[in-house]
Structure 1
Amino acid sequence: MTRRPSDEPRRLPGTLITLDGPGGVGKSTATRLVAETLTTAGVPVHPTTQPSRAPLGELARHGTDTYHGMALACLCAADRHHQLATEIEPALRAGATVVCDRYVASSLVLQGLDGLPAEVVWQLNHGVYRPDLTVVLTGDPRVIGTRLRMRGGHSRFERAEDSSEAEADLYVRAVVDLRRRGWRVATLDTTADPPDTITVAIVSLIQHVLKEKSAACP
């Protein structure tokens, strides 16, 4: 099925939930726990991640030392468009709740760290499917910076000095930008709460969205 070349692709039966936030904030753990909790509750769930696990996504994921600026931005956007067409939108058409670890907010931040203006990132991501809810996980940069050093950086962005502070600042701007464009965004501070508590909070937000969609489509 061909995607419509428009700013706002038509809404699909399923629900797209995206989790974003600085490195070390707990996105991958939250994605896994949220998917497990929703599955236990009987919700059909499709967990995924960006960059994707397809060849193009793996190139972007492991190529941050090789690709910079516009080149990396194009790789990430191309992978997102491809993943939407081949994985995410089919799952949404089937009625699943897709929980995606990273989405456009992460591109606004990481490409911003490379010096690209937000408007360029939006142009590259023209026509992407708008999530039903974007959850941005935040945290004290000193705390998540310590987590990163203990875990080890997964990319040149995470290995950079003061990366947590820079990412945190850019996520504040990204949240404002997303909301200005009509995206539904919630923020959760993960500084002190354990993963189980964060999971409960995210699942509560998702259940509210699901109830709203159910009421709108009896």
Structure 2
Amino acid sequence: MKGLFIVFEGPNGVGKTTVMESVCAAIEHRLIPVVRTKEPTTSDLGNFIRKHQDVYTTEVLACLVTANRYEHLDRIVRPSIDKGRVIVSDRYFPSSLVYQMMDGLDFSFIKSLNDRILIPDLTIFLTADEKILSARLKQRIQLTRFEKDQKKEVQRYEDAQSYIEKMGWNTLSLNSGEQNVHELTDAIVNAIVAIYKATPRNV
């Protein structure tokens, strides 16, 4: 059995959590097994990164994040795919391109760390106007250093999408400021189901 690896990307405040929950529920309703995950993960290393992401920067943080990514692939993603499940991840390699480049690192360094990662079957980019993102983030109690410059974050995500499309990744871009959750869910689920049906179940 072979499953799918689906990734959700987008700037903070874009609504990934809400849309992901809706998409996962819709896929499960079709009796397709789903595993939801995220980066950094909930492992000891992932929790360490979340706790110290404002302490460690540049090369140190980039290496920690990448190590957690390989751990994620080995322990969660690949085993789930082998069992025929659709694994849906909140953030992946494009987020490294965004936040590590915001930290001052160049693309070649980040890419070299990630040369052996698994390419997702579909990477979904959620976008929204900066004013919408800013308004949503104001509702949060505390912001990380990466959440304080929406303009740069949005631009980096546009750059990241352009990079991975040139690398041949399959992407889908949707505007969460122009479409409601139901519309976004329908578009995403239709794309995922189409890929799932086209993927051989025996490997």
Q: Same fold (TM over 0.5)?
A: yes
Which stretch shows the higher mean deviation, 96-105 or 142-151? 142-151
Residue 126 of structure 1: CA displacement? 1.7
Q: Distance in 1 between matches of 2:88 and 2:24?
A: 7
Secondary structure of 1:197's aligned partner: helix
Counterpart Cα distance in 2 of 1:52 and 1:88: 11
Any conservation in 2 of the 1:144–1:191 contact (CA below 8 Å)? no
User: Is 2:2–2:202's contact at 8 Å kept on the other side of the alignment?
Assistant: no
Matches within 5 A, 1:135-214: 135-158=124-147, 160=148, 163-214=149-200
- Over the matched positions of the two proteins, sequence identity in percent amounts to 33
Q: Secondary structure at the match of 1:42?
A: coil
Q: Does 1:74 align with 2:63?
A: yes
What is the SS of the residue equivalent to 2:8? strand
Work out which of the residue numbers 33, 49, 52 in structure 2 matches 1:60.
49
Is there any run of 5+ residues in structure 1 with no aligned partner, and where?
1-11
Greater relative contact order, per chain length (Cα 8 Å cut-off, separation 6+): 2
Write the distance in 2 (CA, Å) between the matches of 1:187 and 1:154: 25
Query: Partner amino acid for 2:113?
Result: L
2:80 equivalent to 1:91: yes
Shift of 1:217: 6.5
RMSD: 1.7
Paired residues of 1:139 and 1:191 also in contact (CA < 8 A): yes
Q: 24, 28, 46: which is aligned to 2:17?
A: 28
Tell me the alpha carbon deviations over residues 11-31 of structure 1, each in whole angstroms, 9 at most, x when there is no partner.
x81100000000000112222
Unaligned residue ranges in structure 2 (runs of 5+)? none
Q: Contact (CA 8 Å) 1:74, 1:124: kept in 2 or not?
A: yes
SS of the counterpart of 1:150?
coil
CA–CA distance in 2 between the matches of 1:154 and 1:211? 40
Q: Is the contact made by 1:62 and 1:155 (CA closer than 8 Å) also made in structure 2? A: no
Which residue pairs with 1:6 in the alignment? none
